[in-house]
Amino acid sequence: MARRKDANHGGHGWFVTFADLMALLVSFFVMLVAFSTQDSAKLQVVAGSMREAFGVQDRVRYSGVIEMPGLPTRPKLKNAAPISPDEASANPTDDHRGSQQSHGGKFDSDRNFALAAASLRQAMQDMPEISEVSKNIIIEETKEGLNIEIVDQNGRSMFPEGSKEPYERTRMVIRRLASSLRAMPFRISIAGHTSASKLPARPGYGPWELSADRANVVRKQLEAEGVPGQNFFMVAGRADTQPLFPDDPYIAANRRVTITLMREEPPIPQNMQP
């Protein structure tokens, strides 16, 4: 008896089931995106990072450190700055990297700061005993240079209340930073900051004195750990005039000491004529 051929010449049954499964998965992810809420500030940060990586545009760009574990999010970026259209270029070249820098100075500076930031972050990771305290450190590149912020957090202060002398854990962090800073050629600026306070200042010793004293204590320890004295450019107290989080000047994260590796123009050769 001859075998009857099947009249159905369609695909295999498993393929149809697989196609249905893929359609359901796509529909599921479309629904997730449709119901999700997007953070416009973070989207701006991502867009700014992409513009920084692939070229310059003639629009306001955003870049910088936004949040760290344990720190509140800073909604307004400290580095946000417009770029004028005459300085914009979608394809920057070696001779078009900044109208205020020449002879590749900006390129070299950016590379040096990137290497310095990587070295400092690695120094923090290499000491497990300060891994928790290292969350109090923010490393951020700004137009002034590379900022190293030693920041207070709620429940984890770096200095005792109203005192210029740091905790021992803070000294450990400074010692670790010094091991990297003493090998770097940058000049160093140190500024102390306090948060705004609703309590009256101590007579004769207010936020200006406290912030200046804390900055100078950090300078002394860095110098004691081998950072050359001639590398220090400025030590100053800012009180509460430059909060890290302007929208909430009272939070603990505004209390900090900022160590800045200064961004400076390359020296002009002595034989160059104006």
Of 188, 189, 208, the residue nearest 197 (C-alpha): 208
Domain map (residue ranges) of the chain:
14-92, 101-262
- Find the helix packing angle between 105-125 and 168-181, rounded to 10°: 140
79-111 b/e with 16+ CB inside 10 Å = b? eeeeeeeeeeeeeeeeeebeeebeeebbeebee
CATH (residue range 101-262): 3.30.1330.60
pTM for this prediction: 0.61
Report the distance separating Cα 268 and Cα 168, nearest Å.
43
Q: How many CB atoms lie within 10 A of CB 22?
A: 10
Q: End-to-end CA distance of the chain: give it in Å, rounded.
A: 106
pLDDT of 8 reads 53
Q: What pLDDT tens digit does each residue of the chain (274 aa) get?
A: 555 555 555 556 788 888 888 999 988 888 887 777 666 666 666 666 666 665 544 444 444 443 444 455 555 545 445 555 555 555 544 444 444 444 445 556 678 888 888 888 887 777 777 777 777 888 988 888 999 999 998 778 899 988 999 999 899 999 989 999 998 989 999 999 999 988 887 888 999 999 999 999 999 999 999 999 999 999 999 999 999 889 999 998 899 999 999 988 655 555 655 5
Calculate the alpha carbon distances from 177 to 50, 172, 230 in Å. 30, 9, 17
The per-residue DSSP string of 60-88 comes to: -B--S----TTS---SS-TT-B---GGG-
pLDDT of 11 reads 54
- Find the helix packing angle between 207-224 and 168-181, rounded to 10°: 60
The per-residue DSSP string of 188-249 comes to: EEEEEE----SSPPBTTB-HHHHHHHHHHHHHHHHHHTT--GGGEEEEEE-TTSS-SSTT-T
Tokens coding 128: 């497990």
Tokens coding 43: 């989207």
pLDDT of 61 reads 40
Report the distance separating Cα 66 and Cα 220, nearest Å.
30
pLDDT of 226 reads 95
Of 234, 233, 255, 259, the residue nearest 244 (C-alpha): 255
pLDDT of 273 reads 57
pLDDT of 236 reads 96
* Contact criterion met (CB below 8 Å) for 213 and 237: yes
Give the sheet arrangement for strand 137-141, strand by strand: 137-141, 145-151, 256-262, 188-193, 232-237
* Coil, strand or helix at 260: strand
